[in-house]
Amino acid sequence: MRAGGAPAILEDVTTESRALVLGGGGVTGVGWEIGLLCGLAAAGVVVADADVVVGTSAGSVVGAQVCGGVPLDELYERQLASPTGEVAARIGLGVLVGFAASGIGRDARAARARLGRRALRASTVPESQRRAVIESRLPRHEWPLRPRLLVTAVDADTGDAVVWDRDSGVDLVDAVAASCAVPLVWPPMTVNGRRYVDGGVRSPTNADYAAGCSRVVVLAPTTAAVRRSGRVTRQLASLGPEARTVVCTPDAQARAAIGRNVLDPARRAAAARAGHRQAADVAGAVEAVWS
């Protein structure tokens, strides 16, 4: 496990390594990212063959799915299936206020801890129930050998940012469930005796964890960050002038398809179709960085 605010620099990353960064954005973010990846592959731009995949919240689900060996076409079809039995949640005003408060103060770690401790006191569904939902979304429950998958989270008590990979001694389902634990909406998840919340508490993309890679493609359902240090543009700039990068975000049609509630499974299929359609518009820019 790598902890703290500094980027995780992998020992096996070379100057020619390519990173795919998958940001947070709820169940609709999962759909949009899968649709975009599938559409890019159909256009001949296969970014799923990255050396490093950084997954935050929804992006950790997508990362685990894509790295699990299931064909993108099959993953895309799953996004189009009826969400029967899935419960919609909502990021209400209290959650937004809580996130905004995590941007107050000079000490980012302490601010994250304040939000994390509020999450520990919040009344939500049981951990076991939430973990089962995440487990059902992952086609494989073992860490992939390649590409190197990084899953982000935040310690609910200390505010420490953490990154897990296959060498961390952490179960993949536990890691993804923690990365998706939106504070005040879902319960903080227990991993090796500690409780963790959503990796998006640090940053919606955590793109700086791609440090050391020369080509970086970011799929970001949202780029809103409460702190400058969490903004994707600032994080990509930290990678250095030689890193070639591109950020893909939902266009106007995709935003309309996603709607106002990113935690509503009923919007997932529309978001996936919107991502698939948008791929044709961004394929050239992505290929210019990736190839």
- Strand 194-198 and strand 148-155: the pairing is antiparallel
Residues 264 and 242: their CA atoms lie apart, in Å, by 39
Question: How many Å from the N-terminal Cα to the C-terminal Cα in the chain?
Answer: 31
Write down the residue that tokens 């409780």 correspond to: 195
Catalytic residue among 165, 174, 198, 264: 198
Catalytic residue among 57, 102, 179, 214: 57
Rg (CA), the chain: 17
- Coarse DSSP helix, strand, coil percentages of the chain, rounded to the nearest 5 percent: 45, 15, 40
Instruction: Indicate if 57 belongs to the active site.
Output: yes
| Burial group, residue 92, by CB count within 10 angstroms (0-12, 13-18, 19+) | exposed
**Residues whose CB is less than 8 angstroms from the CB of residue 3 and which lie 6 or more positions away in sequence, other chains included:** 155, 160, 161, 162, 163
Instruction: Indicate if 229 belongs to the active site.
Output: no
Catalytic residues: 57, 198
